[in-house]
Amino acid sequence: MTYSKTVILDEAGIKRALTRISHEILERNKGLENIVLIGIRSGGAYLAAELAKLIEIIEGENAPCGTVDITLYRDDYSGAMPHQAVGKTEIPLSLEGKKVVLVDDVLFTGRTIRAAMDALMDHGRPECIQLAVLIDRGHRELPIRADFVGRNVPTSLKENVEVVFDSSHHPQEVILEK
């Protein structure tokens, strides 16, 4: 089998996509009121931080930002794999009545999003949850759809999509491996 790696989005492309998503979030919600950005550890959390910065530039206000670790909510949890350490969930406020924008890097089967939603519910009852992803690569296994998408990328199941971050957690590029 041959291995190939294609860059499907570079740093500038990522920035453009995130800027557009920021605008869409503000437009859809008519501003920042009641909005909380929650990133899924770890790629989604980095992107949530990027979005928060962009939103601040656009709107002049900053949105509360948090991180959710979905390890303890996974549905593929079994004895088959050794357990890695559980990361911290850091949600700075109760989500009761908030509009949560859940952020992830790549949307695939939807199972991660399902787990993240369960985790969020344990922190209060939000008014609504919206989903923002940088890449939607298809192949959903659950009835889940993103509200904000950076780029739709048709893929085969054999391929792998990865968002690459630098050491200070800034997104550098999105690559497709096959």
Partner 1 sequence: MPEFKHKDIIALRDLTRGDMELLLKTAESMREINSREIKKVPTLRGKTIINLFYESSTRTRTSFEIAGKRLSADTVNITPSSSSATKGETLADTALNLLAMKPDIIVMRHSVSGSHYFLSKKLPNCSIINAGDGTHEHPSQGLLDMLTIRDHFGRLDSLKVAIIGDITHSRVARSNIQGLTKMGSEVFLAGPPTMMPPGAAKLGNVTVCKNIKEAIADADVVMMLRIQQERQGKTLMPNAREYSRYFGLNPENLKLARPGAMVMHPGPINRGVEMSSYVVDGAQSHILRQVENGVAVRMSMLYHVCGGEIE
Minimum distance from CB of 73 to partner 1 (Å)? 6
CA distances from 109 to 45, 114, 157 (A): 19, 10, 10
> Interaction with partner 1 in 110-139: which residues (CB under 8 A)?
118-119, 122-124
Kindly report the backbone phi and psi dihedral angles of residue 40, in degrees, each rounded to the nearest multiple of 5, phi listed first.
Answer: -85, 125
From residue 9, give the alpha-carbon distance in Å to each of 19, 65, 153. 14, 25, 10
Amino acid 65 reads: C
Which residues from 50-109 bind partner 1, rule CB under 8 A? 69, 71-73, 77-90, 94
Which residues 6+ apart lie within 8 Å of 17 measured at CB? 9, 134, 150, 151
Angle between helices 11-29 and 43-59 (to 10 degrees): 60
Smallest gap, in angstroms, from Cβ of residue 122 to partner 1?
Answer: 4
Told to check if 168 binds partner 1 by CB under 8 A, we report no
* Least distance between partner 1 and beta carbon 137 (Å): 23
By CB under 8 A, the count of residues binding partner 1 is 24
CB nearer to partner 1: pick between 95 and 153: 95
Site residues, partner 1 (CB under 8 A) = 69, 71-73, 77-90, 94, 118-119, 122-124
